[in-house]
A and B are shown apart, each in its own frame.
Chain A
Amino acid sequence: MEILGEGQGELLAWIDPEKHRHWVRMNKCLSMKDKVMNLDEAISKFVHDGDYLAMGGFGHVRVSMAAIYEIIRQRKRDLVFAGKTAVHDLDCLIAAGCVSKVEVAYSFGHELRGLSPASRRAVETGQVKVAAEWSNAAFQWRFKAAASGLPWVPAYILMGTDTFKYSSAKIVRDPFTSRPICLIPACFPDVAIIHVHRCDRYGNCQIDGILVEDLELARAAKRLIITTEEIIPNKRIREEPWRTCIPYFYVDAVVEVPYGSHPCNMPGCYYFDEEHIAEYLLLTRTTEGTKKYFDKYVYNVKNFDEYLELVGGAKKLNYLRKLEKGKARFTYPWIQS
Chain B
Amino acid sequence: MARPNFTQTEMMIVAASRLLEDGKTVFTGTGMPILAALLAQNTHAPKLAIIYEAGGMCPRKPPTIPLSVGDSMTTHKAIMSASMDYIMAFIQAGYGEYALLGAAQIDMYGNINTTVIGPYSKPKVRLPGSGGANDFGSLCWRTIIIMRQDKQRFVEKLDFITTPGYLLGPGAREKAGLPRNTGPWRVITQFGIYGFGDDREMTLLSIHPNVNVRDIQENSCFPIKIADKVETTPEPTDKELRILRSLDPYLIVLRK
Contact = CB atoms under 8 A, between A and B. Distances in A.
B19 interface: no
B179 A330 contact: no
A115 B173 contact: no
Contact of B250 (A87, A115, A133, A330): A330
Interface stretch (B2-10, B134-142, B146-154): B134-142
B167 A107 contact: no
B54 A61 contact: yes
Interface residues of A, number: 69
B192 interface: no
A85 B252 CA distance: 21
A337 interface: yes
B163 interface: yes
A13 interface: no
Given A59-B68, A135-B135, A112 B129 contact: no
- Range for the number of chain B residues in contact with chain A: 35 or more
A85 B70 contact: yes
Contacts of A149: none
Interface string A104-129: 11111101110100011001100000
Interface stretch (A15-23, A36-44, A212-220, A284-292): A212-220
Interface stretch (A150-158, A296-304, A308-316): A150-158
Contacts of B66: 112
B85 A216 contact: yes
B120 A166 contact: yes
Contacts of B179: 156
Interface of B: 30-31, 53-56, 62-72, 74-75, 81-85, 88, 92, 111, 115, 120, 123-135, 138-139, 160-164, 167, 172-173, 176-179, 250-253, 255
Given A111-B69, A161-B164, A210-B54, 19 more contacts: A83-B129, A85-B70, A111-B67, A112-B30, A113-B67, A133-B130, A137-B132, A140-B84, A156-B92, A157-B92, A163-B162, A163-B163, A181-B177, A209-B75, A210-B55, A210-B75, A216-B85, A330-B64, A335-B250
Q: Which 9 A-B pairs have the closest CB atoms?
A: A180-B177, A210-B55, A58-B70, A160-B176, A109-B128, A326-B63, A135-B134, A137-B135, A137-B88
